[in-house]
Structure 1
């Protein structure tokens, strides 16, 4: 059978690193091994609209079947693929698999334009399914599928038994998946696992399937039977990836790579992977490691381990069916930290037995172990999990279909607490985890050294690790897109593996430039009681270099983050003259205007004020810029926009503001970037066309709208603007209008 496998678009911004499609890689290899002609469309490698790319592939390859898949949160990324296939080639059989189908087969058949769903492991199923479709055999004879009968009603076939020998499954077809192109999407600051190599080439591997445990929040899309690949099989694939493709980081993405009853497997892997000379990471249970095991892991190249922490309350751990204790977890985390391996884990609030007391128990433990920088979030009842069934039974989820739009960001109260009480506590500590639980490194040097056409400016960064005192350095750090949401970056020390914080790289650069200008002269920092105050909390270099910290209320108590940097008390501004201090650095979160009275008072004392605009979040930046624009303070608005663009390089709102502020050239580039990043939305095309029209560039507007209407056929806003272009030209019928009419 002639098939087309479509890999959903997983990235948020074109060029960003995304989850490598290992599962679809296995499906691809299985179909090819069975002799079926199979093509691949990876939607992550081209920024054109999804519908346009799928249509082109369908017309080029003329497949009999289109296959795609993913997990439940990928619903909005999978649906447009299937809709386009149904619209362009109604005769093509649409097939979808993965956790999204396995968790809720009938629900997905109802809400996706789907002919066949693959339930559970798909390798053997798709090979048999392709043969049945080829021969016209009834699909009832293919185990592990859900399909539509003659009336269109979804019908399940018999369940498929788990694959016993997973060594026998063909390894993913890395050549067809274009692994080298995937490597190009990776940069040094795309996540903790990328911090360890100058040119990261990370590839995920699967070393086992399912999990022997039954945690209430987990769903095992590959079945309930835990199976492990032999180390021979795993090493054969690892060797291929290193020798043929140049991989330098192996991320074993198992639910559980090794168990406490089979530690020999982990020992053997450590013994053998060492010869490849690569870094690696995986997920382990806290009760399956000890200091000897961790020493072997470290010696073999392990730099990253993920643990399921979840709660510091043994009562909640029992309710979650974790079958571990906080004492075991604490021992594992301490041993991993001492072994100089980066560790990650989550505290998740919201189990059905959660109370204010158990939340506080977890918070107290978390705050006393802040050196691990564990993340705090909500528990999510993913489809297929025990908690999901509980939430349906209790009415927390009123209807299965109601939850579909929330798959990617579930925020539900399954506790016995009132909503206000639960969300008040959970929101408070989730925010506290990134505003207050900070471990800043001392930055000794930062420099912008180049530019990547996709990743943007690249930086050299040198630091002193707050954990080990080492001096890690990086030469190709990018400003990652996900820093749009936060006012700081989390990085891992290359020497001890532990996590610390820096300011966004443009802010670190601005601080260094200020220190260079001052050239060793004594200066003070004005401390203000602000919501975030990240520069004072994070910039160890700025605060240690300061001679004094000025406060408008000098008799108040100094916060711990200042005391730790040698500032035991505040200084009144009037006292600076006697300290031979003439310069004051002023970190600002919301622009200059709110601080003008303070700036005027400091200036009246003969002090030189150096504002450092450091927006803690993109929403603060936008609010400040819009306020300045609304009050006709255009020069300030432009300055704020220039600062914000460096810190938050991907922002549609900032592109739009560029036009309002009269920066037409920057706005045009911004709109062109927007159409490249979000080609499936009309906002960029409309804005750029209006800009062309305002500048009298009517032919360019017409060409742009023609292209846009090919990509977004039937879009009324684009067609309406095309008609305006026609009226402005005064004669003729531009092709854009013809396309719109068609």
Structure 2
């Protein structure tokens, strides 16, 4: 079947892509590669991938291409579901014969609800959907396809048996040739990565059991299933030839450092190639490993600290002690490894006092940059189950974003309101960034690195504009 893979048009600046962990507009313009769409696209011959938001591709432009395809597959999410369904309606109005399916964590765990809520959708692919979509595109009878939920000719919803979890990760083709074919790499920005960058996965799954984390609980699982070192390096070599303008390579695995010997082995091969790279890491990597990674091209680690309060870390099953995270961060500073630290406000056990404690923790350990998110109870996560059972989540906040695509504070507690949690994000940013040492550090970076001057100024304008719009949203609520 002629197949279109689509990240649909949405809010201006909305990073809802098949690779983004929180689907929302960011403080500064950010776009992740649509890796979860590119993977099945790499399996389907003569397919096409349209990633509308970063390319500013409007609905009319997408609809105009609808007649060229037999099948459209959209990545969707809890925040973008209603908008994505409207896009499918428009595509089918232009091409009534078009079959439409959805992939993503939302439909992986709410397959029945999603099909009932959206009669225009023909099928959804649950869990690990790569080969499920290939089977559909290859024209196999839907009743024989594992992992597929669909509407049959009588309009009855059918759920086929589960598809076994993949273990031979080298059986998946590279995603980066799809990037080269269909995407413009310069359209992808992440504030803490050098531009332009490339990102892809070297494995799926995460050993950690964090109650809020989306991908391991819905698609990836808690076993870290990895590609071989040689397979990863072959894709890196392809990237170096296909994207000579790349400034940085990012490994988007949930926790690249879950397998330390493998991480070191990949790093040593990257060192031979002279690649500058970054990855996701847990704040417990030993100093000896950090040094190996740094000596072989590692520039930055993206680290989920989440909170500076030990009880909250226990509540979310983070499996991390505050003093271990502090020692790890000190090691990174001494070795010259930059850190982008991520924090979450509004997790179970949060109070005004724990918010203040986390802000003090962040300023004390002083990552190079930070991102502050609001606790988001996505369906399929343990946090979502907790929130429903304890009455922390209201139905009116279940979509996790407001009408402008900005992340809201969906959870509330007896002692802490939505508004108090929402407003604490701006307080966090101001107390972290509006310190003389941090301002001096940013100015020094801009002066010593001319290419950063224009970028940081643009990001500053975007940041303050975002905070202003965010305050307006709070007042309207």
Instruction: Give the TM-score range, shorter chain.
Output: 0.7 to 0.9
SS in 1 for 2:115: helix
Residues 1:169 and 2:164 are matched in the alignment: no
Q: CA 1:48/1:309 → structure 2, altered by over 3 Å: closer, same or farther? A: closer
8 Å CA contact 1:378, 1:426 repeated in 2:
no
Q: 1:286 aligns with which of 279, 283, 287?
A: 283
Deviations 1:404-461 (A, max 9, x none): 6558613033434142795388357335436634611379xxxxxxxxxxxxxxxxxx
- Alignment match, 2:210: 215
RMSD after superposition: 3.3
Distance in 2 (alpha carbons) for counterparts of 1:374 and 1:203: 21
8 Å CA contact 1:250, 1:280 repeated in 2:
yes
Q: 1:464 aligns with which of 439, 444, 469?
A: 444
Q: CA 1:353/1:142 → structure 2, altered by over 3 Å: closer, same or farther? A: same
8 Å CA contact 2:409, 2:422 repeated in 1:
no
Deviations 1:122-153 (A, max 9, x none): 2211122233xx35x2x232111111134434
- Alignment match, 1:20: 33
- Alignment match, 1:601: none
- Alignment match, 2:114: 108
Larger-gyration structure (1/2): 1
Q: CA 1:175/1:428 → structure 2, altered by over 3 Å: closer, same or farther? A: closer
- Alignment match, 2:20: none
Q: 1:156 aligns with which of 144, 154, 159?
A: 159
Distance in 1 (alpha carbons) for counterparts of 2:34 and 2:57: 19
Displacement after TM superposition at 1:206 (Å):
0.3
Task: Map 1:386-401; keep pairs closer than 5 Å.
Answer: 386-399=382-395
- Alignment match, 1:633: none
Residues 1:254 and 2:231 are matched in the alignment: no
Deviations 1:611-636 (A, max 9, x none): xxxx997679x9xxxxxxxxxxxxxx
Displacement after TM superposition at 1:117 (Å):
0.5
Distance in 2 (alpha carbons) for counterparts of 1:44 and 1:419: 32
Residues 1:55 and 2:63 are matched in the alignment: yes
- Alignment match, 1:81: 87
Q: CA 1:342/1:314 → structure 2, altered by over 3 Å: closer, same or farther? A: same
Structure 2 stretches lacking a partner, 5+ long:
15-28, 473-477
Q: 2:450 aligns with which of 456, 460, 473?
A: 473
SS in 1 for 2:254: coil
Distance in 1 (alpha carbons) for counterparts of 2:148 and 2:241: 38
Structure 1 stretches lacking a partner, 5+ long:
195-199, 444-462, 488-614, 623-742
- Alignment match, 1:65: 71
- Alignment match, 2:21: none
8 Å CA contact 2:309, 2:358 repeated in 1:
yes
Deviations 1:679-704 (A, max 9, x none): xxxxxxxxxxxxxxxxxxxxxxxxxx
Distance in 2 (alpha carbons) for counterparts of 1:420 and 1:479: 31
Displacement after TM superposition at 1:97 (Å):
0.6
SS in 2 for 1:241: helix
Distance in 2 (alpha carbons) for counterparts of 1:24 and 1:425: 34
8 Å CA contact 2:276, 2:299 repeated in 1:
yes
Q: CA 1:402/1:306 → structure 2, altered by over 3 Å: closer, same or farther? A: closer
Q: CA 1:301/1:173 → structure 2, altered by over 3 Å: closer, same or farther? A: closer
Displacement after TM superposition at 1:379 (Å):
1.6
Displacement after TM superposition at 1:90 (Å):
2.0
Deviations 1:16-56 (A, max 9, x none): 76322212111111122xxxx42344435764531x22222
Q: Which moved more, 1:382-391 or 1:101-110?
A: 101-110
Distance in 1 (alpha carbons) for counterparts of 2:13 and 2:343: 28
Distance in 1 (alpha carbons) for counterparts of 2:445 and 2:63: 51
8 Å CA contact 1:336, 1:342 repeated in 2:
yes
Q: CA 1:353/1:617 → structure 2, altered by over 3 Å: closer, same or farther? A: closer
Task: Map 1:205-604; keep pairs closer than 5 Å.
Answer: 205-220=200-215, 221-224=218-221, 225-246=223-244, 247-259=246-258, 262-287=259-284, 289-370=285-366, 372-399=368-395, 402-403=398-399, 406=402, 409-419=407-417, 422-423=420-421, 426=424, 429-430=427-428, 432-433=430-431, 436-437=434-435, 439-441=438-440, 464=444, 471-474=448-451, 477-478=454-455, 483-487=460-464
Displacement after TM superposition at 1:170 (Å):
1.3
Distance in 2 (alpha carbons) for counterparts of 1:403 and 1:619: 19
SS in 2 for 1:309: strand
8 Å CA contact 1:377, 1:430 repeated in 2:
no
Q: CA 1:344/1:12 → structure 2, altered by over 3 Å: closer, same or farther? A: same
TM-score between both structures, scaled by the size of structure 2: 0.83
Displacement after TM superposition at 1:485 (Å):
4.7
Displacement after TM superposition at 1:236 (Å):
0.6
- Alignment match, 1:589: none
Task: Map 1:176-191; keep pairs closer than 5 Å.
Answer: 177-178=180-181, 182-185=184-187, 191=191
